[in-house]
Amino acid sequence: PMPELTPMLKQLRLSGFMDSLEVRNKQAIEDSLSYTEFLALLLQDETARRSSRKLDLRLRRAGFRQEKTLEAFDCMPSVWSFFQPAGMQSSQCCSHHAKFQVVCNRY
């Protein structure tokens, strides 16, 4: 990036601009963006970077052993048995599991 901007960006705590400045500058030239459109792109990049860093920090502070997402959630029969109503016969259990599978796949 432009070396004369680095100290000012650091002082303003906008060092994330340095990561996307060159790419966004090329984009602004190629797409004939106005100054405000160019600035908006840089600010969007910085906002996204900060949000991502905050989430990473929260996850680290939470001390989770492993990151889990709903996409990675596995609806296995061992999980289904947890949701099996008391007194349900094993023959009834299959339809109950199928319903749970449908609910689980929605999310």
Give me the percent of the chain exceeding a pLDDT of 70. 63
The rounded distance, in Å, linking the Cα atoms of 19 and 37 is 18
The answer to whether residue 73 scores a pLDDT higher than 70 is no
Cβ neighbours, 10 Å, residue 50: 13
Residues in the chain: 107
What average pLDDT does the segment 93-102 reach?
Answer: 50
Supply the pLDDT for residue 48: 93
Amino acid at 75: C
Supply the pLDDT for residue 74: 62
Burial class (CB in 10 A: 0-12, 13-18, 19+), 17: buried
Supply the pLDDT for residue 69: 73
pLDDT in tens, 14-45: 988 888 999 999 999 999 999 999 999 999 99
pTM for this prediction: 0.57
pLDDT grade for 83, boundaries at 50, 70 and 90 = low
End-to-end CA distance of the chain: 42
